[in-house]
Structure 1
Amino acid sequence: MARFGILTSGGDCPGLNAVIRGTVLQGTKVHGQEFVGFKDGFHGLVYGDVVDLDRTAVQGISSQGGTIIGTSRFGPYEPDGGPDNIKGVLARLGIDAVIAVGGDGTMAAANRLLTDGIPIVGVPKTIDNDLNATDYTFGFNTAVEVATEAVDRLRTTGNSHKRCMVLEVMGRHAGWIAMYSGVAAGAHAILIPEQPETLEQICEWVLSVQDRGRSPMVVVAEGFTFPHMDEAHSHKGLDGFNRPRLGGIGDILAPLIEEHTGIETRSTTLGYIQRGGVPSAWDRTLGTRFGQAVSDLVADGQWGQMVALRGTDIVRVPFAEAVGNPKTVPLDYYRGARAIFG
């Protein structure tokens, strides 16, 4: 009986448990497969730390946020890692191949492992929706719903005090969460990494809102920059992938708006609330479909492939298409929304 190991790597994401459940149920019922979960991402793969995943282990988990097998930003080429060690772990545990669930960094690591002889496949995961090989990733819908509700809530307190409210959402290189939540909630300005905007332009939008007797609402992605900035604001050091930990542009923007417009302005950073909690129905469904599809993928032995959503179909794409080609907000889309800012 074929035996496969599943790992979830990188940031946690609503819908991960639905993927795990879909994989295990499809595999055990349709293909006669067995599964284990590598605990805490690639760390479990490197050190052979696993937990059995059978039907009982995954019952009822689709509605849970996070991941029951844990995650981390530990890389497979960390000390004690590398292909020779990992091959030994797989042989010792009787595991035929690895199913890696993660974002661009995870898929890049999986692609490198593939070239080093590790049989591995992928499932795309990111709340940022910035993987070009798939139309949507699970977790994005939930994050947008959370951010939209946050805008709606901030609007009421802004209206009560006649303040300008700034909401900072996640989005390192791509402003999808900011765009979708901002458009859905009718924000008066949406600021994204793909398109720098001047402080003067932002203040012009804010003042035009006040002139109409409204309280301005600004949504800003964490990766947004002013034209004079060479890189996104970061003051929190590096993350586990040695990338700057972003966050804080909203706290910089709010006092600048207040200083230049005279409108009392407050900033809120949504942060990890976007990642946590109950996944939406959409994300549970997409996660389940991805899980079932990746079980079919390993049954066919098509290593180096990742499942993806194209239109309404689940397809298979090579890692090479999924890595190093981020999906950003098209400028035409942004310009369309920008036309009605203010």
Structure 2
Amino acid sequence: MNKISSKHFMLFILGVSIISLKTYLSVFISIGGRDTWLSSLLAGGIFICFLLYIIKICKVTNTFNINEIFFNALPKVFAFILLGIFILALFVNAIEAAAVDANVIHTTLFIDTPVWYALIFFIAPSLFIFSKKLRTILIFVLVSVFTLIINGILFFILTQSYKDINNLLPVLGNGIKSNFFITGILILGGFSTFMIAMPFLKFIDKHEHLSKHSFYSSVITVAFVVVSFVGVITAFGPLRAANIFYPEFVLSQRIEVAGFLEFGELFFIIQTVVGFFIKYVLCTYSILIIFEKYLKNKAIFIGIYTFITFVISNFLSMSNYYLYDILKYIQIINLIAFLIIPFVVYSVYYIRIKNKNLHLTKK
């Protein structure tokens, strides 16, 4: 059965939108400082509006196939180019997921373990999932996202005693400067990765509650990200938080229960490994959905795709400093491919359909 519900789609959005922003928080704090959480709140508001706008256009035009929208909105050449950029961004995010996950494992727990070794245990299981149908993806996402949500809530509760709200003060103490908006733009790029899940829209059987459930998922996403920024800044202060590669890992090491249980790292590892694996799988599966009519040999495509991903991810994840520089540019790529281009394409498509309907009405 290749159908999903709008409630399931909520989990697809959560699965791709939260993990990156929540993992490498210091990339954004190093620019936005103490007020990064405010930048994330502003970016989150734009993200919610944009998501609802895209969903509304899909519902009004009754078109949920992303290929159909691109090719009916624009001339064929432009449609190929812009959809190609969209697909390339999906590939870049798959590489980011693999590279960051391997780098996290190598940096935090297994320093002596080569990055390529960690990548094998990340990429190899995905080959099994790619060979399955949508129902397997759905079950995997359901279980994994629920695990992430429970894990995140427990992590929030157990780390509350290690935070000092005074580290957030004074709010906007240095005024609103360019860094505030630059940070917001980069975070908006991270939020815009919800578009990774858009190719799955065509599998939704009933659309009457799609807007409502998409709104719920966007609010939950923004809440998780803002709380993460607030938590890290209140725990370490803006200066130290900006200079820790994975601040939530260090925060997790502080967790102590009943005076003898110290297992905080487990929360961060579950979050990172499961979260980025979800993102990697959905990025790749979205590419397969878009290429569905053009793939003559799926196995060969996945093999070449996996090999290229492995090579590039291994190169990126070997250096923390280099990886963190690249991550900033990835947010800009996301902003262009997942926000600006879809906004233009979906808007043009809506206008064309509206004009077509008006023309038919006059006749």
Q: TM-score, normalised by structure 2?
A: 0.27
- CA radius of gyration, larger in: 1
Structure with higher strand content: 1
Structure with higher helix content: 2
